[in-house]
Structure 1
Amino acid sequence: MFTLRFDMRAPDGGAPATELYAAAVEMCAWAETRGAVAAVLSEHHGALDGHLPVPVVLASALAARTERLAILLAAVVLPLYDPVRLAEEIAVLDVISAGRVSYVLGVGHRAEEYEHFGVDFRRRGRLADEKLALLLELLKGGAVAHEGRHVQVTPAPMTPGGPRIMIAGASPAAVRRAARHGLGFLAQAAPPGLKELYEAECRAHGHEPGPAQFPDRAAPTAVFVADDVDTAWEELGPYLLHDAVTAAAYRPGGATVASISRARSVAELRAENGAYRIFTVDEAVDHLRTGRSLGLLPLCGGLPPRLAWPYLRRAAEAVALAAERVVPA
């Protein structure tokens, strides 16, 4: 199986945003019948390369063109949202998608984005706690008393209690935020003791630990599948490097984040053999047979769709071959 991640970067030298957004929708519609299990949409604001700022809009387009593909928004920067409006958007999208959209909420890590919205970056943790409590209450579908007024989100979500929500982060504060509400946790790093803290905090608040995902450093997060790896690095390298350099610039102190590369050239990025990886079909099959999925970033760095499609087709081919080679017990 494989996932499709889209951040919709459209830097100079890449494809225009109009082509990239159209291709993302077409790719999801095509891929859900060929082994894709989820589309993952990220969020950033005010980025010079046009990084996707409103994933809920793209998620709506994907939901309208697909029938069973899961859609994950990761991560929504909660302190930047009005929780009432966000609850309404989540509820309507839950109806449109028949419950296929889930969310990972975080506090973000770029002060520039808080300045973009006129929100105090220093208060992001407190704002996240306040807004999360209200958001979860609103998604239950009933009337809520808040600051002297009554608020009710209509229509109610199709999913009872609202769609699945997890918390993202790499700090004890993020763990406690998830545990307090009995939510799952998506770790961006795996410092010692974080998993144990999450489990203990969940139980302290009367919840069994929810789904928790911690980085697997053996699993790349931006995968392409090619017939010829050398040729693919020549073609894809500049786009992958743009993504790597820009993502690293977002986190100047984020050396512990598993998906971050500090490579400064295509050669360095390839030599790392880390988050950014190009497999042959056979290598992809072997990877899949370990029980891992292929985390594809098909339009990485503004990669033109005409170049991206052959790599997506090779990934689907690898998934089909891996399924054929599984010997029943």
Structure 2
Amino acid sequence: MKALSFALRTTLLATALFSTSGMLAHADEQNQPIAKGAYELAFSPSANALFLATTQGNEGEGGTVFRLDPQTLAVKQTIPTALKSFGAAINPQTNVLYIGNTVSGALTAIDATRGTPLKTLVLDGRKRSETLRPLQPREIAVDVKTNRVYVTGLGPQSVVWVVDGKTLQPVSVVPNTGNMGTGLAVDSDRQKLYVTNGDGELVTISTRTNAVEQRQKIDGDKAHFFLNIALDTVGQRAFLSDAKQPQVLVVDLRDGQVIKAIDVPESLAVLFNPGSNELYVTHRNAGEVSIIDADSYKVKRRVKTPGLPNSLALSADGKTLFVSVKQPGSRKAPPKNPDSVMRIAL
């Protein structure tokens, strides 16, 4: 009886410690603090590694890209970058990682196998002044068939920079993609590139001609800021995250019509998993991630995050979701604790 009582007390104590610690209460969710200034994630299937772009906060002039173990989230390699690192995308065929250096108007290529920077391309080198705001790189997309890298450049009249993924030389600039044209996704098979912007538009670009084919105002006169876009290329659907409306819009790419407005909080990142036909969405202000059935458009699960969820990445087998999580703060009162990466078993 005494042994049973001791075992029971031990179990209760362990449960209490686990539930009140900084760890998350669900066994299939893990959170690991990494560094300040964490932004976007990219997963390398060939290296079985997760990469996190960070600015390292206000410390120094450069940034850091962290290579993480996808199982434990332990830091396996620290890759210093000469410029602050924000955006991230990878070409799984060449295993080259592309990092957007937003405040410097540049793009950096990194050998993801060795973890060594290869080259940096300045996309907009104009000096900022009271009358001039250079375009800033935001999202990055890679066409694996052509090894072209596409980068959105934000401004009142945004652009898309087209870059050769092998040489990191500029190929073309697609002008006039709208006010704050942030979201970016590529359909390699159909040779289409899609951009979303702060005016609630969906812009279709031909990757053959690097020219705008069509721009559509989505959902009438309602105010939208479509921050990001994910594609279901087989079903020809686009999923648009929205910073102004508590919903994610599902749009038919063939005619631009809204298929469904999914009722969720205002959203930032969006990612489609074709293997499970699920949609993942980060809700920064709400501090949670939605896992949505892309057939019924019903929310299957809401995952609370220990901070402000930012970007998303998916493991090669589609069974693990990774989320970068920022800590609340401002320039005047920067966060004291490091940002983290969260691992969610699907």
Considering fraction of residues, name the structure with more helix: 1
- TM-score (ref. length: structure 2): 0.29
- TM-score (ref. length: structure 1): 0.30
